[in-house]
Amino acid sequence: MSQSKLITMDEFTIQETRKFPQATGDLSALLRDIGLAGKIINKQVRKAGLVDILGKHGATNVQGEEQMKLDIFANETLINILKNCTECAGIASEENDNHISYEDTFSVNSKYVVLFDPLDGSSNIDVNAPIGTIFAIYRRVSELGKSCTEADFLQPGNRLMAAGYVIYGSSTMMVYATKLGVNGFTLEPSIGEFCLSHPNMKCPENGKIYSINQGNSVKYDDGMLGYLSYCMESNKEDGRPYSQRYIGSMVADMHRTLIKGGIFIYPADKSSPKGKLRLQYECNPMAFIIEAAGGKAVCGTKNILDIMPTELHQRVPIFIGSKNMVNKVMEFVKEKETVG
């Protein structure tokens, strides 16, 4: 594609905003700022393999700066960029116990709050596998002009205004969803911009890949084991046995699921009765994206997006991906009382 045909993410979001005459442009600006954080985190992630040359985490480099662990670096980058922009009243991060409200005049008058997992799948850094940043944007429910409150962050996913992720993979991409749909933008390193590469993304209704940490199956209940047997059974009509793929980095597993179809599962098990993944930082944003792309996300029998969160770091089982595959797994698994 020639550079003159490139549409940058900024150009795209501004065009989308123009469809709503009453829109102020704050959401586009917020997405741009999250994209900026993604680019800064990307620059640091791309140096991860050079850590032995540039200095160990925790050590001091030649400029006298302390090398930060990448997940801490990603967290601080997002916190600072969102603090300095004028569209965000506060944040909640998987890395922080409590939400942070920004107290300057612009921020207290901002209508949005952002939740994020700054560097999901960070155990994959050492093996050079994809990792990502996940984010979710709500319109605040607290009074404008005052500090944002925890209630702003404890809204169900069906109230999200936008959600997305940045994947640091073989290329760097930012994918975001609004109620209008899902679009993907690939970082063009020569101009340092995310450019529209995957317009109007749709998750196929059917898929042939199931993605789960099957090594945990000794801890799964009968319903889950029944579904795994179903995936491994032979059936020419629907392409079973399915292939099993599991990177162990939700962003990477979900990016594949969004593009190729399939199902990603992190279930409850005997040692983690609420599952492992976090509702507000991982499951809701991914559920919002996949639903906007025509897929489905449940925690058992209930839609993820309908769960009313009761605490910031709540965990929830998740079954997410191609609509027909999620409907099938629901026939096997029953929702547990653990989900609010």
Closer residue to ligand AHM (CB): 117 or 193: 117
Quick note: the x/- pattern for ligand AHM over 108-147, rule CB under 6 A, is ---------x--xxx-------------------------
CB of 213 or CB of 235, closer to ligand AHM: 213
**Stretch (H or E) spanning 154:** none
Helix (H) or strand (E) holding 307: none
Min CB(129)–Mg ion separation in Å = 14
Q: Which member of 28, 101, 178, 249 binds ligand AHM (CB under 6 A)?
A: 249
Tokens 């550079």 label which residue? 3
Q: Does 87 bind ligand AHM (CB under 6 A)?
A: no
Report the site for ligand AHM in 264-323 (rule: CB under 6 A). 276
Task: Please check whether residue 93 is in contact with residue 75, taking contact to mean a CB–CB distance below 8 angstroms.
Answer: yes
State the pairing for strand pair 160-168/172-178.
antiparallel
Residues in region 166-225 near ligand AHM by CB under 6 A: 213
Residue nearest to Mg ion (CB): 120
Choice between 9 and 325, CB closer to ligand AHM: 325
Q: CB of 255: closest distance to Mg ion in angstroms? A: 14
Report in angstroms how near the CB of residue 318 gets to ligand AHM at its nearest.
Answer: 9
Q: Cα 147–165–262 angle (5° rounding)?
A: 135
Give whichever of 121 and 309 is closer to ligand AHM, judged by the CB atom: 121
Contact 136, 281 (CB under 8 A): yes
Of the residues 248, 273, 308, 331, which one makes contact with ligand AHM according to CB under 6 A: 248
Q: Taking each helix axis as running N to C, give the angle between helix 323-332 and helix 222-232, from 0 to 180 degrees, rounded to the nearest 10.
A: 130
Contact call for residues 137 and 114 (beta carbons, < 8 A): yes
Distance between CA atoms of 194 and 305, rounded to whole angstroms?
28
Let me know: does 89 contact 110? Beta carbons within 8 Å.
Answer: yes
Q: Which one of Mg ion, ligand AHM, none is in contact with 276 (Cβ closer than 5 to 8 A by kind)?
A: ligand AHM
Residue 249's binding partner among Mg ion, ligand AHM, none (Cβ under 5 to 8 angstroms by kind) is ligand AHM
In this structure, is the dihedral angle defined by the CA atoms of residues 200, 203, 206 and 208, taken in order, positive or negative? Answer: positive
Is residue 253 a contact residue for Mg ion (CB under 5 A)? no
Strands 318-321 and 131-139: unpaired
15: amino acid identity, one letter: Q
Q: Closer to Mg ion by CB, 33 or 120: give it.
A: 120
Does residue 120 bind Mg ion (CB under 5 A)? yes
Nearer to ligand AHM, 140 or 278 (CB): 278
Q: Are 294 and 326 a contacting pair, CB within 8 Å?
A: no
Q: Give the integer Cα–Cα distance in Å for 47 and 55.
A: 11
Determine the Cα–Cα distance for residues 84 and 164; give it in Å rounded to an integer: 21
Q: Which is nearer to Mg ion, 87 or 120 (CB)?
A: 120
Q: In the range 79-98, which residues lie near Mg ion by CB under 5 A?
A: none
State the residues that interact with ligand AHM by CB under 6 A: 117, 120-122, 213, 248-250, 276
